């Protein structure tokens, strides 16, 4: 394959261009299976002929097998030019390809103008649509640009590609708008889950503020009485008590203020700026908010909360709104899992000796340092693990849980975007989101974040 001529692409565009090049090179090598390893199962195809169309991978592979049978030997593919455009998890590649085929010792050339649309699944770009236009003539060594009919056909093809590209741009813009709305919907849904927990968490410091304020009012009256009787020593002691109570009022007032600010931050759109964040405080905050939120909806629900925070972690540079959203999603899912298992084990008339199940959710943080000499790690990292003793995740759906819109919850109880967004957020921080599960015993979700 000859050297490509195109603009200087970004790293993501480079990845997309490589997938496109490998897709066409596999066709030149007549390897249909390898070629379609770069395609999604629902890939579609439209060609220049009336019958050149496919609605899925199976139909498209059938068309390719027929084409391969027509050319008994591998042929050369030359990408004359190509360019990639990327928007969020979608991209498309426009290219012009020259094929050189051999028939009975003579070389013939064919031209193809092509648009390939790709979508990113997890960490892999897959082709979801192919649109190709091929002239209905073959060239025998001549320069195709010197042929008047060919030039006319090229203009028509350029117009078709332009129109198709315009349609794809509009579709991608619509997808981007829809995705933004869905992300905001997921954020609001998670905030709704926390509403009762927020009320509970704010009520506690407000109760302290009210109680200490009332005590201080009584102490001030006592102090006045002692001053009137000339008992300065007792008045000073009462003043000290008032001062201590005032410190507690201030402490609990700041606590309520921090809760409100945290929830406002959760609602806001992330500005993408990393800042030093107390990971332990963030995890503990969302653990208790999520628990009290679930308790407010189901008074019968109780769970054991276990924590083990590594105090050596310190402050970590992350986008707090985003990482907080991931932690909240994992903790909320863990509580949902143990709650569902508890309901499944209960009967209207529990039998003596039935399962003695205690729902348990555990949150751990840990700082992992490289071995001496830098061995065994890519660098220092912090891990946040959320584990539960719920029903676990069945193996047949384990590879789907990070896919957008996949959910095991009943209709109306989940958007199917929580884990998908969480996975993307952790990846954007250069980290990993890992799941370990055992059916009937529970699951562990672990966030690994590099410490910059």
DSSP conformation class of 438:
E
pLDDT in tens, the chain (452 residues): 444 444 456 788 888 999 999 998 888 888 889 999 999 999 999 887 667 788 899 988 888 888 777 666 677 888 888 888 888 889 999 988 887 876 556 667 778 888 999 999 888 899 999 988 875 444 333 333 334 445 556 666 777 887 888 888 888 887 777 766 666 555 555 555 555 556 656 777 777 788 878 888 888 888 888 888 888 888 888 888 888 888 888 887 877 776 676 666 555 555 678 889 999 999 998 888 888 877 877 778 889 999 999 999 989 999 888 898 889 889 989 999 998 898 888 755 444 444 688 999 999 999 987 766 555 556 789 999 999 999 999 988 888 888 776 777 765 565 566 788 888 889 989 999 999 999 989 999 999 999 86
Q: Which residue has the tokens 């806001």?
A: 268
Q: Where in the chain is the domain with CATH 3.30.565.10?
A: 277-345+357-452
* pLDDT at position 142: 39
CATH 3.10.450.50: which residues of the chain?
11-146
Say what the pLDDT of residue 382 is.
Answer: 94
- Element housing 35 (H / E): helix 32-36
CB within 8 Å of 180: residues ≥ 6 apart: none
Q: Which helix (H) or strand (E) holds 201?
A: helix 148-228
**CA 334, CA 336: separation in Å to the nearest integer?**
5
User: Quick check: 391 and 337 in contact, CB under 8 A?
Assistant: yes
Helix (H, G, I), strand (E, B) or coil at 113: strand
pLDDT at res. 150: 52
- pTM for the predicted model, two decimal places: 0.47
Unique residue bearing structure tokens 């991978």: 57
Instruction: Copy the structure tokens of residue 234.
Output: 């007792």
Q: What are the respective helix, strand and coil percentages of the chain, to the nearest 5? A: 50, 25, 25
DSSP string, 254-317: HHHHHHHHHHHHHHSPP----EEEEHHHHHHHHHHHHHHHHHHH-TT---EEEEE--TT--EEE
Distance in angstroms (rounded) separating the CA atoms of residues 90 and 120: 6
Tokens 């998908």 sit on residue: 420
Best CA proximity match to 73, nearest among 119, 35, 117, 104: 104
* DSSP code for 374: G
Q: Give the N- to C-terminal CA distance of the chain in Å, as an integer.
A: 41
pLDDT value for 165: 85
Dihedral angle, C-alpha 14, 18, 20, 26, nearest 10 ° = 180
Top-tier CATH class for 11-146? alpha beta
What does R_g of the chain's alpha carbons equal in angstroms?
32
Please list, in sequence order, all residues whose beta carbon lies within 8 angstroms of the beta carbon of residue 418, skipping any fewer than 6 positions away. 186, 190, 329, 332, 333
Token duo for residue 339: 């709650």
- The 10 Å Cβ neighbour count of residue 412 is 6
Between CA 25 and CA 34 the distance in angstroms is 10
Domain spanning 277-345+357-452: which CATH class is it, in words? alpha beta
Separation between Cα atoms, residue 116 and residue 16, nearest integer Å: 10
Whose tokens are 């073959």? That residue is 138
């Amino acid at each position: 394959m000859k050297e490509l001529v195109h603009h200087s692409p970004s790293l993501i565009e480079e990845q997309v261009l490589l997938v496109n090049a490998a897709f066409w090179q596999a066709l030149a090598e007549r390897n249909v299976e390898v070629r379609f390893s770069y395609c999604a199962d629902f890939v579609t195809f439209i060609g220049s002929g009336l019958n050149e169309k496919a609605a899925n991978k199976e139909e498209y592979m059938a068309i390719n097998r027929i084409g391969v049978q027509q050319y008994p030997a591998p042929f050369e593919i030359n990408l004359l030019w190509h360019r990639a455009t990327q928007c969020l998890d979608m991209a498309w590649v426009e290219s012009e390809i020259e094929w050189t085929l051999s028939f009975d010792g003579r070389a013939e050339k064919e031209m193809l103008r092509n648009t390939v649309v790709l979508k990113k699944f997890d960490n892999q770009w897959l082709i979801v649509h192919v649109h190709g236009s091929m002239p209905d003539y073959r060239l025998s060594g001549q320069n195709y640009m010197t042929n008047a009919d060919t030039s006319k056909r090229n203009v028509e093809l350029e117009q078709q590609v332009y129109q198709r590209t315009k349609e794809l741009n509009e579709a991608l813009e619509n997808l981007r708008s829809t995705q933004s709305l869905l992300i905001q919907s997921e954020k609001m849904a998670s905030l709704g889950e926390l509403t009762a927990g927020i009320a509970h968490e704010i009520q506690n410091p407000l109760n302290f503020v009210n109680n200490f304020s009332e005590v201080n009012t009584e102490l001030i009256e006592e102090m006045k009485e002692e001053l009137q009787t000339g008992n300065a020593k007792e008045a000073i002691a009462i003043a000290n008590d008032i001062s201590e109570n005032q410190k507690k009022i201030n402490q609990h007032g700041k606590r309520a203020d921090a809760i409100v600010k945290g929830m406002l931050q959760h609602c806001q759109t992330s500005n993408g700026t990393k800042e030093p964040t107390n990971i332990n405080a963030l995890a503990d905050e969302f653990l208790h908010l999520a628990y009290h939120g679930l308790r407010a909806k189901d008074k019968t629900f109780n769970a054991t909360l276990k924590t083990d925070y590594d105090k050596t972690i310190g402050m970590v540079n992350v986008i707090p709104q985003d990482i907080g959203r991931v932690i909240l999603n994992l903790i909320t899912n863990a509580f949902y899992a143990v709650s569902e298992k508890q309901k499944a084990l209960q009967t209207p008339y529990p039998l003596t000796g039935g399962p003695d199940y205690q729902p348990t959710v555990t949150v751990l943080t840990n700082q992992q340092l490289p071995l001496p000499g830098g061995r065994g790690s890519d660098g220092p990292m912090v891990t946040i693990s959320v584990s539960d003793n719920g029903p676990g995740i069945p193996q047949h759906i384990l590879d789907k849980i990070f896919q957008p819109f996949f959910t095991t919850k009943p209709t109306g109880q989940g958007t199917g975007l929580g884990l998908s967004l969480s996975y993307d957020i952790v990846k954007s921080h250069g980290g990993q989101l890992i799941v370990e599960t055992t059916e009937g015993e529970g699951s562990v979700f672990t966030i690994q974040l590099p410490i910059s």
